[in-house]
């Protein structure tokens, strides 16, 4: 006799959990979503401050080439036409990102692609780097001295908390260099921000589904799991297995939000601070994501910090050591018959938002195609 109340217990209300819950609900399944935070939506959650939708856990800019995923998210909330065009501030000098002809003109005064290519190649040739064995050498061999020193070195060292010569070369397999006057950071066909903020997307996905907040799954793991036939787990995979093979390492972020009694603080949504001596990596001015006209503005400084049990995990450190540890956890996860692991923490990989949704779609397809075959 089955005394289960729900078909699925979904641990975590981020994009993976919310998309899975929505699709299961459409299949007639009864779902319970729990989250340890006091809000749903995971890291895409927005907090309204002074009428501005503040991306509480860092800037989230939706971009994809997948029309089906773009149409999917727009079916819950209309997305605007925001285009990500960040600016880099290096010791007060302002440069366009990604590296493009505007950047090269700002650096050297060159006006044609041929001049820019010649300048970069001349710097690369002087370095005589044949087999890069660290991040610094890899980056120098791709873009030369000036771009590396002003726009990559300090930012990367802050981001990873290590000097560039101690970081592996594979972290930078390639660097996007464009020989056009184009400041659009992403090359994806579809890009934008939900009009009214990401909470509208979360609310649409979870409509009609029971959600309980301020719930720590691990405080009564057996009790929560006993409520459902299957668990969809989107938290840290090492925590699920009580860290038996050790902790997987992450880089984390600390946010410093500030309200300014002015209409416009920096003139752009994203300004990166690329010198090592400035402790934060960037300042986000949130109103520009939605072309806001509010009388006040809200900014967020992002400070990279080492991950720990107390810090929210953001960026997995996918080096050889952590990859080997994750493989051990993955082997355990693959043996589970009533637990589904999904999302950036459970899969220990960095995902853009559209990739998380795509991953959730694949899991939904596996689950319900399998059930259709059984039927």
- Asked about 251 being catalytic, the answer comes back as yes
Distance CA 99, CA 177 (A): 5
d(CA 200, CA 222): 32
Active-site option among 50, 146, 251, 351: 251
Of residues 302, 314, 344, 363, which has the active-site annotation? Answer: 302
Residue 194, C-beta contacts closer than 8 angstroms, at least 6 positions apart: 62, 73, 77, 78, 79, 80, 200, 201
Instruction: Name the catalytic one among 174, 222, 244, 277.
Output: 174
Spot the catalytic one: 35, 282, 344, 363.
Answer: 282
Length of the chain equals 375
Tell me which of 50, 115, 149, 352 is the catalytic residue.
352
Cα atoms found within 13 Å of the Cα of residue 304, Cβ hemisphere only: 20
Options 166, 216, 258, 350, the catalytic residue: 350
Own/partner long-range contacts of 172-175 (Cβ < 8 Å, ≥24 apart): 172/135, 172/138, 172/139, 172/142, 174/142, 175/99, 175/139, 175/142, 175/143
Catalytic residue among 8, 37, 148, 178: 178
Residue among 323, 318, 313 at smallest CA distance from 345: 313
Is 244 a catalytic site residue?
Answer: no
99, β-bridge pairs: 177
CA gap 256, 277 in Å, rounded: 18
**Cross-strand bridge partners of residue 11:** 34, 233
Mark out the alpha helices in the chain (DSSP H runs). 15-26, 67-74, 101-108, 113-127, 135-147, 153-160, 199-205, 221-225, 237-240, 320-333, 353-374
Q: Is 75 exposed, middle or buried (0-12, 13-18, 19+ CB in 10 A)?
A: exposed
The question of whether 352 is a catalytic residue gets the answer yes
Instruction: Say if CB 274 and CB 89 are below 8 A apart.
Output: yes
Asked if 276 is an active-site residue, the reply is: no
344 catalytic? Reply is: no
- Please say if 212 is a catalytic residue: no
> Could you list the active site residues?
174, 178, 251, 282, 302, 350, 352
């Amino acid at each position: 006799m089955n005394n289960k109340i729900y078909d699925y217990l979904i641990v975590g209300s981020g994009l993976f959990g919310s998309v899975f819950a929505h699709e299961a609900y459409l299949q007639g399944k009864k779902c319970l979503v729990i989250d340890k935070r006091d809000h749903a939506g995971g890291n895409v959650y927005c907090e309204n401050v002074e009428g501005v939708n503040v991306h509480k856990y860092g800037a989230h800019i939706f971009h994809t080439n997948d029309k089906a995923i773009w149409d999917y998210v727009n079916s819950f909330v209309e997305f605007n036409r925001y285009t990500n065009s960040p600016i880099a501030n290096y010791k007060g000098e302002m440069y366009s990102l990604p590296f493009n002809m505007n950047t090269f003109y700002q650096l050297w005064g060159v006006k044609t692609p041929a001049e820019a290519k010649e300048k970069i190649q001349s710097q690369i040739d002087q370095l005589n780097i044949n087999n890069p064995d660290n991040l610094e050498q890899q980056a120098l061999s791709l873009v030369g001295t000036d771009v590396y020193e002003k726009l990559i070195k300090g930012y990367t060292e802050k981001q990873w908390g290590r000097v560039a010569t101690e970081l592996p070369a594979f972290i930078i397999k390639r660097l996007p260099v464009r020989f056009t006057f184009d400041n659009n950071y992403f090359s994806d066909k579809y890009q934008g921000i939900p009009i009214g903020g990401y909470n509208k997307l979360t609310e649409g996905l979870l409509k009609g589904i029971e959600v309980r907040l301020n719930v720590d799954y691990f405080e009564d793991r057996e009790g929560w799991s006993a409520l459902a036939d299957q668990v969809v787990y989107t938290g840290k995979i090492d925590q699920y297995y009580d860290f038996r093979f050790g902790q997987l390492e992450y880089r984390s972020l600390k946010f410093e939000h500030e309200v300014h009694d002015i209409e416009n603080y920096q003139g752009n949504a994203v300004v990166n601070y690329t010198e090592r001596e400035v402790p934060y990596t960037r300042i986000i001015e949130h109103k520009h994501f939605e072309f806001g006209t509010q009388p006040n503005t809200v900014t967020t400084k992002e400070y990279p910090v080492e991950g720990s049990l107390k810090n929210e995990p953001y960026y997995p450190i996918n080096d050889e050591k952590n990859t080997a540890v994750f493989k051990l956890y993955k082997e355990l996860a693959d043996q589970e018959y009533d637990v589904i692991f999904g999302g950036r923490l459970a899969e220990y990989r960095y995902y853009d938002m559209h990739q998380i949704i795509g991953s959730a779609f694949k899991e939904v397809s596996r689950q319900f195609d399998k059930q259709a075959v059984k039927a």
